[in-house]
């Protein structure tokens, strides 16, 4: 680890935490319907939208109605994204004349984008027409994120309301999240990215002459050792409406890149400054939502406590990842390869313009949040630093996590922590004055259980069936690739370890099912808890009440998150990255 | 933990009473019945796993095993021990409960009852079995006879020995009407006779309920237990998946190793090892001790001489935020004492003392008697009502006065506003001077009784002094630290109440309490989300008792009060409520702490099992063997530790985690340090020691 590297990491955290309060405050005003400034400009559009779609913005929903609205809306999204992909050859805005996408890939991609996972089994620039990118994927980038935020806001209402039967109106929460939060932030970010050189155009790919031709030897294929010299004079520059897509892909913790190599591509992430903005955008909303949460329940300390727990886990893992990447790969040093290359750390699969610290930062942030975009190839990380992103996903995407879903996932862990801690102080456990009873426990258990089960079972199936054997490496690393894919899909992250060829009917289907189940299986219990908590009377806090904002409780919460995550996956990790690291060291 | 074995919580019964241990050992084996096991999901998994391991052992004995038969055999044996130890823990707790129940049962000797056809002592009667009595039957009990069932005295007064229930040998007076009319079956009438109406059908008496409770016959789980069960089931499912999927992962890893190097000795992990890993990871410690904790909690309550109608009430006691306490008997010594006479409007002290004594002659309350005694200081001899030809007007809740009429002269004493009303009715004006003195007396926390005569003349004030119990202020400070608000309930006027409240250190008070405003107060707190506890004994307490979340009725109280409450205190000690709250808290804390301990243990078990389990495929994993366990015995050591820790924690489960009245945040920190951090460290040491021992043997 170098000093400039550490300074960059510290600067990142400082800027992120400084933005938490203003953005969190703004979002709280948006969700409580108070004037937020933007409503003077956008308010008429909001009301027009309700009038056109026939939504009664004053009508409140019970948790069941809310859940039904979420599911119906997501189902509509699912069908429209699938249809647009299958019919893309017949539709406009397809200058490359790309053909229809296969059924299994279309299924996988539509589930992937509707569930805010944005796992990409396809290569963007050679698969998706501009229309598919903008109308199918772009729309879902906004609304899948807004859905997560809406569910979170419903849960917050459940926690803050007393003896109520409703938890808000999904259509209003969805509209306000998109119109007041995601759209304006995306506009700002997209313009900033364009200023850095990110492309934004509807023109087809451009063929340009190279300044200097490139010559290389290529084997003649069937004629053994014989080669011929190839002379390249032209290059294809992919274009498209990238900046706008990238802005929301980062802000909405979506992560589906415009180009295949995602934010490692120079047109998607050209400069260190664009890199800083993009990686900041990953955690911006998830972090700020903690403040919104504290503000809306009327106790800001609670929001800070959750944020502190997230930040603590994040910082430790970030340092671990950076440290492990800063060490040279002993297998490479053993060849006596350039020692200065070794001293710079493990540069394999990294963009030179980002270096070790920014690649490790991105890898940690993108998997802490359920973003999944990359600016370096995680598959090439050392086993130990590859373990960090994998494990962050396995924790259930609750360290910041996806917009909305990260915090509601974390609140499920809070419920488990409160339950154990509450018993330890000799009272029926309660959180924010709401008693945690068997119903809440059952729902929280369901929510925490599902992603774990999907990761474990999915990986087990993949290592057994022959269709699962599409890893690029044998041994422990191959196992890591499979485990990583299922950890990513089952926690709605979307990050890939590359290496694994996942655009096959088996993986498209298996991972699609994982993404679908983990997203919607979680949303229903979360909303059920919201409904149940809203209907309860509040218990006023006394000296006998377990305080949930103290360092002791924050520590306890961290332990619960880590122990549940670690204990479940330690055996699997031992057979993957852990043994790989030990093998590497023994090399 | 080992040292605590020698300091039993109950002096009367040692924690490991040999008689109880013997019975428990047998019943641990009997509990292997699958129908018993399935009630506890965690232990049922261990039970099934043990069966599987035994089958694998048999398989290995036939020479086709996946590992050495000796290894599988030892693992299977200790897996069975895990089940047995958990059964033993439960049986121990049940045994202690049963011992208590047996001694209670002795009180329930079957007795003959004299059933009356009409409620008259000389009425027609027949002899029936006590157990045949139904609710509503009328029976006569004479001196020396055992009361055949719970009931209410409808005629007569008697001294009753209740030692069979309360352990207190001094006889108590029970009489018809009023708040001391309830009697309990199994107690003995010492003198006189009583006619009582039976209040409970056979099998529903207090004694029956108490026996059922300590025997654990009522196995209804409380909401907290259900929620904890869900958490434990969830952890069990996760670990079941983690261990089951390890088999395909390991087969894959071994195949990969073989593909890379055909000479590799890589072999997938054995099922035996996976079974051992599973049992070590699932929360067997808390799962095995859960029922022991519950039974022991009930047992502690019974030892405090309190009967609860359900386990739910006990846990609710731990959640109580507001404690309503009657002033008299709880906060102050039962009786107020007359301490001074304050004559007004020109009356002399002797005149007042004379009137006060006359008005109190027939007043048999301790206060009345203390007035007579005080009057003697004014050289007034005690006089006899009958000699004077006086007629007595007893106190009533409506007039709130009592008094006497002697030689055509009326004398009344009572609360200031009642006397004011009386004086006005007599056509005079209430005394201004009396009002001033009443205020002064009230401010001192004493109770003013105003004395007036039939001419509307106010003679003066008797000052009744309340004596606050010693040490009560400290207890209330303790409650405040626990987050419990104390509210004093009193019939006194607000000024007196405020003074006593300040002296006793309660947080709030309800003055001039009536059954209605008591009920309103409870409802008000409950609407604010608070849980209210109270004690009561009178029939007019019944509505409030029924409304309160935790309601402790005094055993001396009326049947109505006992039925309205959800606990009965056999000692009839109003401060018992504080103990009940602590028992409730202790019950929850023990569960939470052992859950934490159980989960924290898993970390060490991974370090013991994982390196050995995959040694054949990945010898590099030996780097994780930080305890440097012998690969041949490491897994067995973890399994043995996992079984033994259940036995080691039985004393803690039975006695409960120590509760200290401090803030929740401090409690959490302390318990996390002991059971969380302790739970991380202890197994590292324990497993290593067991491993060393195994290798020495």
Considering only residues B529 and A530, tell me which one the structure prediction assigns the higher pLDDT.
Answer: A530
Decide if pLDDT at B104 tops 90: no
Q: What is the mean pLDDT of residues B551-567?
A: 80
Nearest CA in chain A to B600: A563
Spatial separation of the C-alpha atoms in residues B70 and B231, rounded to whole Å: 36
Q: What is the mean pLDDT of residues B272-301?
A: 90
Q: Which of residues 22-81 of A touch B (CB under 8 A)?
A: none
B252 at A interface, C-beta within 8 A: yes
**Helix, strand or coil, per DSSP, at residue B146:** strand
In this prediction, residue B688 carries a pLDDT of 95
Q: What is the mean pLDDT of residues B557-576?
A: 79
pLDDT (tens digit per residue) in A117-140: 888 877 767 788 888 888 888 899
Q: Is A475's CB within 8 Å of B260's CB?
A: yes
Residue A21 binned pLDDT confidence (cut-offs 50, 70, 90): very high
Most confident of A10-19, A217-226, B197-206, B549-558: A10-19
Nearest CA in chain B to A438: B227
Tell me the DSSP string of A210-261. Answer: EEEEEEEEEE-SSSTT-EEEEEEEEEEE--SSHHHHHHHHHHTT----SSTT
Residue B301 CB-half CA count within 13 A: 37
Spatial separation of the C-alpha atoms in residues B90 and B624, rounded to whole Å: 36
Q: Is B231's CB within 8 Å of A556's CB?
A: no
Residue percentage of chain B with pLDDT more than 70: 91
C-alpha to C-alpha distances, A53 to A50, A73, B546, nearest whole angstrom? 5, 13, 53
In this prediction, residue A539 carries a pLDDT of 83
Q: Which of A441, A463, A569 is the closest to B252 by Cβ?
A: A463
Q: Is B672's CB within 8 Å of A570's CB?
A: no
Contacting residues for B387 by C-beta, under 8 A, at least 6 apart? none
Nearest CA in chain A to B621: A579
In this prediction, residue B108 carries a pLDDT of 61
Residue B2 binned pLDDT confidence (cut-offs 50, 70, 90): very low
User: Which chain A residues have a beta carbon less than 8 Å from that of B672?
Assistant: 421, 424, 552, 555-556
The structure tokens 């000796």 sit at B70
Per the DSSP assignment, residues forming a β-bridge with B182 are B152
Q: How far is CA A363 from the centre of its chain?
A: 11
Per the CB < 8 A criterion, the answer to whether A491 and A115 are in contact is no
Decide if pLDDT at A343 tops 60: no
In this prediction, residue B213 carries a pLDDT of 65
Spatial separation of the C-alpha atoms in residues A548 and B483, rounded to whole Å: 16
Q: Which of A427, A445, A475 is the closest to B230 by Cβ?
A: A445
Q: Which of B595, B610, B663 is the closest to A571 by Cβ?
A: B610
User: Which chain B residues have a beta carbon less than 8 Å from that of A456?
Assistant: 241-242, 245
Is the pTM higher than 0.90?
no
Residue A271 binned pLDDT confidence (cut-offs 50, 70, 90): very high
Decide if pLDDT at B230 tops 90: yes
In this prediction, residue A224 carries a pLDDT of 59
First CA to last CA distance, chain A: 23
Residue A311 binned pLDDT confidence (cut-offs 50, 70, 90): very high
Strand spans (E) along B560-634: 567-569
Nearest CA in chain A to B659: A426
User: To 10 degrees, what angle do helices B41-61 and B284-303 make?
Assistant: 130
Q: Which of A463, A570, A574 is the closest to B248 by Cβ?
A: A463
In this prediction, residue A37 carries a pLDDT of 87
State whether the Cα torsion A258-A263-A266-A268 is positive or negative: positive
Per the CB < 8 A criterion, the answer to whether A222 and A89 are in contact is no
The structure tokens 């309800």 sit at B510
Q: Which of B478, B618, B652, B677 to mutate to test the interface with A (most CBs of A within 10 A)?
A: B618
Q: Which of B248, B256, B664 is the closest to A547 by Cβ?
A: B664
Considering only residues A532 and B418, tell me which one the structure prediction assigns the higher pLDDT.
Answer: A532
A398 at B interface, C-beta within 8 A: no
Q: What is the mean pLDDT of residues B70-90?
A: 93
Q: Which of B226, B246, B610 is the closest to A438 by Cβ?
A: B226
Decide if pLDDT at B1 tops 50: no
Nearest CA in chain A to B247: A460
Spatial separation of the C-alpha atoms in residues A529 and A416, rounded to whole Å: 13
The neighbour count for residue A265, using CB atoms within 10 Å, is 22
Spatial separation of the C-alpha atoms in residues B445 and B496, rounded to whole Å: 4
Which H or E run includes B497? helix B494-504
Q: Is A423's CB within 8 Å of B585's CB?
A: no
Decide if pLDDT at B3 tops 70: no
Residue B665 binned pLDDT confidence (cut-offs 50, 70, 90): confident
Residue B251 binned pLDDT confidence (cut-offs 50, 70, 90): very high
Helix extents (H) in A404-550: 405-424, 438-464, 475-490, 505-534
Q: Which of residues 616-645 of B touch A (CB under 8 A)?
A: 617-618, 620-621, 623-624
Residue A168 binned pLDDT confidence (cut-offs 50, 70, 90): very high
Spatial separation of the C-alpha atoms in residues B331 and B473, rounded to whole Å: 9
> B656: closest CA among B351, B426, B416, B318?
B318
Q: What is the mean pLDDT of residues A451-455?
A: 93
Strands B306-308, B188-198: pairing kind: unpaired
Q: Calculate the dihedral angle through the C-alpha atoms of B117, B123, B125, B131, rounding to the nearest 10 degrees.
A: 60
B220 at A interface, C-beta within 8 A: no
Q: Which of residues 535-564 of A touch B (CB under 8 A)?
A: 537-540, 542-547, 550, 552-553, 555-556, 559, 563-564
Distance from CA of B589 to the nearest CA of A (A): 4
C-alpha to C-alpha distances, A269 to A196, A276, A325, nearest whole angstrom? 8, 10, 21
Decide if pLDDT at B5 tops 50: no
Per the CB < 8 A criterion, the answer to whether A57 and A172 are in contact is yes
Per the CB < 8 A criterion, the answer to whether B602 and B297 are in contact is no
Decide if pLDDT at A339 tops 80: no
pLDDT (tens digit per residue) in A486-524: 999 999 988 888 778 888 899 999 999 999 999 998 999
Average pLDDT, chain B: 84
In this prediction, residue B14 carries a pLDDT of 66
Say which range, A441-455, A541-555, B38-52, B291-305, has the weakest mean pLDDT.
B291-305
Most confident of A410-414, B180-184, B628-632, B654-658: A410-414
Q: Which of B245, B621, B664 is the closest to A460 by Cβ?
A: B245
Residue A413 binned pLDDT confidence (cut-offs 50, 70, 90): very high
Spatial separation of the C-alpha atoms in residues A243 and A200, rounded to whole Å: 5
Considering only residues A91 and A586, tell me which one the structure prediction assigns the higher pLDDT.
Answer: A91
In this prediction, residue A218 carries a pLDDT of 78
Q: Which of B179, B208, B326, B569 is catalytic?
A: B326
Q: Is B319's CB within 8 Å of A428's CB?
A: yes
In this prediction, residue B175 carries a pLDDT of 79
Residue B540 binned pLDDT confidence (cut-offs 50, 70, 90): confident
Considering only residues B314 and A190, tell me which one the structure prediction assigns the higher pLDDT.
Answer: A190
Verify whether residue B110 is a known catalytic residue: no
In this prediction, residue A225 carries a pLDDT of 66
Most confident of A13-27, B142-156, B209-223, B661-675: A13-27
C-alpha to C-alpha distances, B512 to B249, B420, B493, nearest whole angstrom? 74, 16, 5
Strands B567-569, B550-554: pairing kind: parallel
In this prediction, residue B578 carries a pLDDT of 81
Per the CB < 8 A criterion, the answer to whether A369 and A396 are in contact is no
Contacting residues for B65 by C-beta, under 8 A, at least 6 apart? B56, B57, B59, B72
In this prediction, residue B179 carries a pLDDT of 66
Decide if pLDDT at B301 tops 90: no
Q: Calculate the dihedral angle through the C-alpha atoms of B529, B532, B538, B540, rounding to the nearest 10 degrees.
A: -10
C-alpha to C-alpha distances, A511 to A112, A308, B247, nearest whole angstrom? 9, 32, 21
Spatial separation of the C-alpha atoms in residues B486 and B475, rounded to whole Å: 10
Q: Which of B229, B248, B656 to mutate to test the interface with A (most CBs of A within 10 A)?
A: B248
The tokens of B270 are what? 């054995």
B602 at A interface, C-beta within 8 A: yes
Decide if pLDDT at B635 tops 60: yes
Q: Which of residues 447-486 of A touch B (CB under 8 A)?
A: 448-449, 452-453, 456-457, 459-460, 463-464, 474-476, 478-479
Q: What is the mean pLDDT of residues B88-105?
A: 79
Decide if pLDDT at A341 tops 70: no
Per the DSSP assignment, residues forming a β-bridge with A232 are A214
Q: What is the mean pLDDT of residues B635-653?
A: 94
Spatial separation of the C-alpha atoms in residues A148 and A154, rounded to whole Å: 10
Decide if pLDDT at A223 tops 70: no
B128 at A interface, C-beta within 8 A: no
Q: Is B105 exposed, middle or buried (0-12, 13-18, 19+ CB in 10 A)?
A: middle
Say which range, A148-152, A307-311, A435-439, B127-131, has the weakest mean pLDDT.
B127-131
Complex ipTM, two decimals? 0.90
Q: What is the mean pLDDT of residues A343-361?
A: 85
Q: Is B664's CB within 8 Å of A538's CB?
A: no
Q: Is A479's CB within 8 Å of B256's CB?
A: yes
Q: What is the mean pLDDT of residues B307-318?
A: 80
Say which range, A4-18, A163-177, B1-15, has the weakest mean pLDDT.
B1-15
Rounded (5°) CA angle A239-A243-A245? 100
A224 at B interface, C-beta within 8 A: no
Q: Is A442's CB within 8 Å of B483's CB?
A: no
User: Which chain B residues have a beta carbon less than 8 Å from that of A464?
Assistant: 248, 251-252
Decide if pLDDT at B410 tops 70: yes
């Amino acid at each position: 680890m170098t000093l400039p590297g550490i300074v960059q990491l510290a600067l990142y955290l400082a800027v992120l935490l400084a933005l938490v309060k203003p953005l969190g405050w703004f979002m709280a005003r948006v969700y409580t319907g108070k004037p937020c400034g933007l409503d003077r400009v956008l308010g008429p559009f909001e009301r027009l939208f309700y009038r056109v779609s026939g939504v009664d913005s004053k009508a409140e929903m019970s948790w069941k109605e809310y859940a039904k609205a979420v599911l119906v809306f997501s189902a509509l999204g699912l069908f429209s994204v699938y249809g647009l992909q299958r019919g893309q050859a017949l539709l406009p805005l397809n200058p490359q004349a790309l053909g229809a996408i296969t059924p299994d890939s279309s299924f996988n991609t539509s589930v992937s984008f509707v569930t805010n996972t944005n796992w990409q089994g396809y290569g963007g620039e050679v698969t998706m027409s501009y229309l598919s990118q903008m109308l199918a994927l772009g729309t879902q980038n906004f609304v899948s994120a807004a859905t997560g935020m809406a569910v979170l806001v419903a849960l917050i209402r459940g926690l803050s309301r007393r003896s109520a039967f409703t938890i808000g109106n999904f259509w209003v929460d969805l509209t306000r999240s998109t119109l007041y939060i995601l759209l304006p932030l995306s506009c700002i970010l997209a313009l900033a990215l364009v200023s850095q050189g990110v492309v934004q155009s509807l023109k087809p790919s451009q063929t340009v002459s190279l300044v200097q031709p490139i010559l290389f030897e290529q084997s003649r294929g069937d004629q053994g050792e014989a080669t011929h010299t190839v002379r390249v004079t032209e290059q294809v520059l992919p274009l498209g409406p990238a900046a706008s897509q990238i802005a929301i892909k980062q802000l909405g913790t979506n992560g589906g890149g415009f180009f295949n190599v995602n934010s490692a591509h120079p047109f998607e992430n050209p400069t260190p400054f664009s890199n800083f903005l993009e990686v900041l955008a990953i955690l911006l909303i998830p972090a700020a939502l903690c403040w919104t949460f504290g503000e809306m329940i009327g106790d800001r300390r609670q929001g800070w406590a959750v944020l502190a727990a997230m930040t603590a886990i994040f910082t430790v893992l970030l340092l671990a990842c950076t440290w492990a990447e800063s060490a040279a790969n002993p297998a490479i040093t053993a060849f006596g390869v350039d020692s200065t290359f070794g001293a710079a750390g493990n540069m394999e699969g990294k963009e030179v313009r980002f270096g070790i610290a920014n690649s490790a930062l991105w890898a940690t942030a993108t998997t802490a949040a359920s973003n999944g975009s990359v600016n370096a190839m995680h598959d090439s990380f050392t086993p130990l630093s590859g373990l960090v992103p994998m494990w962050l996903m396995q924790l259930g995407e609750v360290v910041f996590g996806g917009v909305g879903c990260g915090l509601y996932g974390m609140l499920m862990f809070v419920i488990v922590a409160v339950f154990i801690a509450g018993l330890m102080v000799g009272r029926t456990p309660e959180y924010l004055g709401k008693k945690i009873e068997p119903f809440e426990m059952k729902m929280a258990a369901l929510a925490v259980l599902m992603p774990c089960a999907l990761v474990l079972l999915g990986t087990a199936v993949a290592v057994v069936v022959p269709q699962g054997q599409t890893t690029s490496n044998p041994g422990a690393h191959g196992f890591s690739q499979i485990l990583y894919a299922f950890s990513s899909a089952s926690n709605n992250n979307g990050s890939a370890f590359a290496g694994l060829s996942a655009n096959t009917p088996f993986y498209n289907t298996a991972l699609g099912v994982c993404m679908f189940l983990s997203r919607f299986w979680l949303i229903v219990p979360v909303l059920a808890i919201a409904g149940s908590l809203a209907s309860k009377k509040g218990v006023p806090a006394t000296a006998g009440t377990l305080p949930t904002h103290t360092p002791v409780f924050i520590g306890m919460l961290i332990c619960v998150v880590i122990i549940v995550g670690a204990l479940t996956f330690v055996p699997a990790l031992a057979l993957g990255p852990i043994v790989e690291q030990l093998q590497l060291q023994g090399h | 933990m080992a040292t605590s074995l020698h300091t039993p919580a109950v002096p009367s019964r040692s924690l490991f009473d040999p008689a109880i241990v013997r019975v428990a050992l047998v019943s641990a084996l009997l509990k292997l019945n699958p129908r018993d096991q399935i009630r506890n999901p965690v232990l049922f998994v261990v039970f099934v796993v043990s069966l599987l391991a035994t089958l694998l052992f048999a398989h290995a004995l036939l020479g086709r095993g996946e590992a050495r038969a000796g290894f599988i055999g030892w693992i299977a044996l200790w897996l069975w021990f895990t089940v047995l130890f958990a059964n033993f823990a439960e049986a121990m707790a049940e045994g202690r409960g049963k011992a208590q129940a047996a001694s209670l049962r002795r009180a329930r000797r079957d007795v003959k009852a004299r059933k009356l056809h009409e409620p008259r002592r000389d009425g027609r009667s027949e002899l029936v079995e006590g157990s045949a009595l139904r609710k509503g039957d009328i029976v006569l009990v004479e001196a020396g006879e055992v009361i055949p069932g719970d009931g209410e005295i409808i005629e007569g007064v008697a001294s009753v020995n209740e030692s069979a229930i309360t352990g207190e040998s001094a006889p108590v007076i029970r009489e018809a009407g009023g708040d001391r009319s309830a009697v309990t079956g199994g107690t003995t009438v010492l003198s006189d006779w009583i006619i009582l109406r039976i209040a409970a059908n056979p099998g529903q008496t207090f004694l029956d309920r108490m026996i059922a409770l300590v025997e654990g016959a009522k196995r209804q789980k409380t909401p907290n237990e259900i929620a904890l069960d869900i958490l434990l089931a969830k952890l069990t499912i996760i670990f079941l998946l983690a261990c089951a999927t390890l088999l395909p992962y390991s087969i894959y890893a071994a195949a990969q190793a073989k593909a890379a190097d055909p000479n590799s000795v890589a072999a997938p992990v054995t099922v035996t090892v996976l079974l051992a890993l599973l049992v070590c990871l699932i929360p067997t410690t808390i799962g095995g001790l859960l029922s022991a904790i519950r039974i022991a909690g009930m047992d502690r309550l019974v030892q405090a001489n309190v009967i609860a109608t359900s386990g739910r009430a006990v846990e609710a006691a731990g959640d109580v935020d507001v404690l309503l306490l009657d002033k008299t008997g709880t906060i102050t010594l039962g009786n107020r004492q007359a301490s001074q006479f304050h004559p007004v409007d020109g009356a002399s002290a002797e005149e007042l003392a004379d009137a006060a004594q006359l008005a109190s002659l027939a007043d048999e309350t301790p206060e009345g008697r203390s007035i007579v005694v005080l009057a003697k200081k004014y050289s007034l001899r005690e006089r006899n009502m009958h000699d004077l030809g006086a007629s007595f007007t007893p106190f009533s809740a409506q007039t709130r006065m009592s008094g006497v009429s002697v030689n055509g002269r009326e004398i009344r004493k009572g609360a200031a506003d009642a006397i004011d009303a009386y004086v006005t009715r007599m056509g005079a004006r209430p005394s201004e001077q009396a009002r001033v003195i009443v205020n002064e007396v009230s401010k001192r926390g004493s109770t003013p009784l105003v004395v007036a005569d039939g001419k509307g003349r106010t003679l003066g004030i008797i000052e009744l002094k309340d004596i606050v119990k010693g040490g009560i202020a400290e207890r209330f400070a303790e409650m405040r630290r626990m987050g419990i608000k104390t509210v004093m309930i009193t019939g006194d006027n607000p000024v007196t109440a405020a003074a006593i409240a300040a002296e006793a250190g309660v947080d709030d008070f309800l003055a001039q309490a009536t059954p209605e405003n008591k009920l309103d107060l409870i409802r008000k707190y409950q609407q604010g989300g608070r849980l209210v506890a109270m004690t009561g004994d009178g029939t007019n307490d019944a509505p409030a008792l029924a409304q309160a979340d935790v309601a402790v009725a005094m055993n001396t109280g009326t049947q109505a009060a006992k039925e309205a409450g959800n606990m009965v205190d056999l000692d009839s000690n109003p401060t018992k409520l504080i103990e009940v709250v602590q028992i409730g808290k202790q019950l929850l804390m023990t569960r939470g702490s052992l859950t934490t301990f159980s989960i924290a243990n898993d970390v060490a078990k991974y370090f013991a099992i994982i390196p050995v389990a995959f040694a054949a495929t990945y010898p590099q994993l030996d780097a994780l063997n930080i305890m440097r366990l012998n690969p041949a015995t490491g897994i067995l050591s973890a399994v043995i530790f996992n079984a033994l820790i259940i036995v080691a924690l039985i004393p803690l489960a039975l006695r409960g985690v120590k509760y200290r009245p401090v803030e929740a945040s401090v409690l959490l920190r302390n318990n996390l340090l002991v059971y969380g951090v302790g739970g991380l460290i202890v197994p590292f040491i324990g497993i290593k020691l067991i491993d060393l021992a195994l290798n020495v043997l």
